[in-house]
Structure 1
Amino acid sequence: MAVGFRSFLRAAPGQELLGTVIEHLGRWLASKEIHLDADRPGQYVLDHDDLVTILRDRRGDGQLYQWRRQHPDAQPRDVWRTTISVFERPDEPGWIWTEIETRDDCSALGEAPYNRCMSVPSVLRALLGKLTVVDGRTEMAPTPQWVTGGHLPDLMDFLADETRRGPVYMISQGDQPPEEFERWAREITWHLVGLGTAFLLDRTVEAGFNEMVGSAHYLPAGTMRTYLPEVDLDNPEDPLRHKILGRTRILATDTRRLARMLGRAERDRAARMPIPEDARQLVREYESAPVSWREQQRLLSELQAENDRLREALGTRPHLHVAPRQQQLTAS
Structure 2
Amino acid sequence: MVGIAPAGTTVDGVDGGRSLDYRALMTCAAPTPWLQSVEDQLASWLRQRKDWDVDVRTDGRLTSGVRSFAVRHHQDGQSRSLRARLVEPDPSRGAWTTELIAHERSGGGGWISLDVENANGNFVAVPALARYLMQVLPLADGELQFADEPQVVREHQLDEVMDLLCDEERHGLVFVAGTATDGIPFDRFIPAVKKWTREVYGLAQVIVLDPAATATLSRSFGEPHGVPPWALRTYLPGVDPAVRIDGRRHRIFGTASLAKLADGHVRQVLGRAARNHAAARPTPPSVQRVRRMFERLANQAIVEAIAEHQPPAAVLEERPPTAPPSSRAPQPAPAGDLAAAAERYLAEIELTRTILGIDALDEPTLRRVAASAAAARTNPEAIARAAQQIQDQQARIEQLEDRIDGLARSLEEEELEHAITNEALEKREDETRWLRGRLQEQGNYDAAFAPLPADSETAYPDSFADLLTAVEAMREQGLVFTGKPDHALALDDVDHLGKCVHTAWDALLALADYVRARRDGACDRGVDDYVKNTPSGYRQIPPAKFAATETAITMKQFGAERIFPVPASVDPSGKATMTAHVKLGRIGMVSPRLYYLDHYTESGTIVVGYIGRHLTNTQTN
TM-score, length-scaled by structure 1: 0.77
Match among 31, 47, 63 for residue 30 of structure 1: 47
Query: How big is each residue's C-alpha offset from its partner over 1:183-213, in whole Å with a ceiling of 9 and x where there is no partner?
Result: 2111111111111101111222222222222
Match among 12, 21, 24 for residue 38 of structure 2: 21
Task: Check conservation: 1:13, 1:89, Cα contact below 8 A.
Answer: no
Partner amino acid, structure 1, of 2:113: W
Task: Check conservation: 1:166, 1:229, Cα contact below 8 A.
Answer: yes
Give 2:164's aligned residue.
158
Aligned residue runs from structure 1 range 105-116, under 5 A = 114=121, 116=122
SS in 2 for 1:95: strand
Shift of 1:3: 7.0
Shift of 1:240: 0.4
Q: Which has the higher contact order (CA 8 A, sep 6+)?
A: 1
Specify whether residues 212 and 77 from structure 1 end up closer, same or farther in structure 2 by C-alpha distance, changes over 3 A only: farther
Task: Check conservation: 1:74, 1:103, Cα contact below 8 A.
Answer: no
Shift of 1:97: 0.5
SS in 2 for 1:78: coil
Which structure carries more helix by proportion? Answer: 2
Specify whether residues 3 and 146 from structure 1 end up closer, same or farther in structure 2 by C-alpha distance, changes over 3 A only: closer
Give 2:86's aligned residue.
69
TM-score, length-scaled by structure 2: 0.43
Shift of 1:74: 4.9
Aligned residue runs from structure 1 range 20-99, under 5 A = 20-32=37-49, 33-47=51-65, 49-71=66-88, 73-75=89-91, 78-99=94-115
Specify whether residues 78 and 179 from structure 1 end up closer, same or farther in structure 2 by C-alpha distance, changes over 3 A only: farther
Query: How big is each residue's C-alpha offset from its partner over 1:269-298, in whole Å with a ceiling of 9 and x where there is no partner?
Result: 211223222222222232246xxxxxxxxx
Distance 1:76 1:284 in 2: 32
Shift of 1:85: 0.5
Give 2:137's aligned residue.
131
Give 2:424's aligned residue.
none
SS in 2 for 1:286: helix
Match among 284, 291, 294 for residue 283 of structure 1: 291
Task: Check conservation: 1:66, 1:86, Cα contact below 8 A.
Answer: yes
Partner amino acid, structure 2, of 1:190: R
Specify whether residues 267 and 75 from structure 1 end up closer, same or farther in structure 2 by C-alpha distance, changes over 3 A only: farther
Distance 1:278 1:259 in 2: 32
Query: How big is each residue's C-alpha offset from its partner over 1:201-229, in whole Å with a ceiling of 9 and x where there is no partner?
Result: 12222222222221111211111001111
Give 2:267's aligned residue.
259
Partner amino acid, structure 2, of 1:264: R
Q: Does 2:237 align with 1:229?
A: yes
SS in 2 for 1:157: helix
Rg larger for: 2
Shift of 1:148: 1.4
Distance 2:218 2:32 in 1: 36
Give 1:242's aligned residue.
250
- CA-atom RMSD, angstroms? 2.4
Query: How big is each residue's C-alpha offset from its partner over 1:228-250, in whole Å with a ceiling of 9 and x where there is no partner?
Result: 11111110211101100011111
Give 2:146's aligned residue.
140
Distance 2:273 2:235 in 1: 14
- Length, aligned pairs only: 280
Task: Check conservation: 1:191, 1:259, Cα contact below 8 A.
Answer: yes
Task: Check conservation: 1:172, 1:220, Cα contact below 8 A.
Answer: yes
Q: Does 2:189 align with 1:172?
A: no
Between 55-64 and 129-138, report the one with greater CA deviation: 129-138
Task: Check conservation: 2:32, 2:107, Cα contact below 8 A.
Answer: no
Unpaired runs of at least 5, structure 1: 105-113, 290-317, 322-332
Q: Does 2:192 align with 1:184?
A: yes
Partner amino acid, structure 2, of 1:272: A
Distance 2:152 2:266 in 1: 21
Distance 2:279 2:287 in 1: 16
Which structure carries more strand by proportion? Answer: 1
Distance 1:16 1:124 in 2: 20
Shift of 1:76: 8.2
Task: Check conservation: 1:138, 1:164, Cα contact below 8 A.
Answer: no
Shift of 1:77: 5.3
Task: Check conservation: 1:76, 1:103, Cα contact below 8 A.
Answer: no
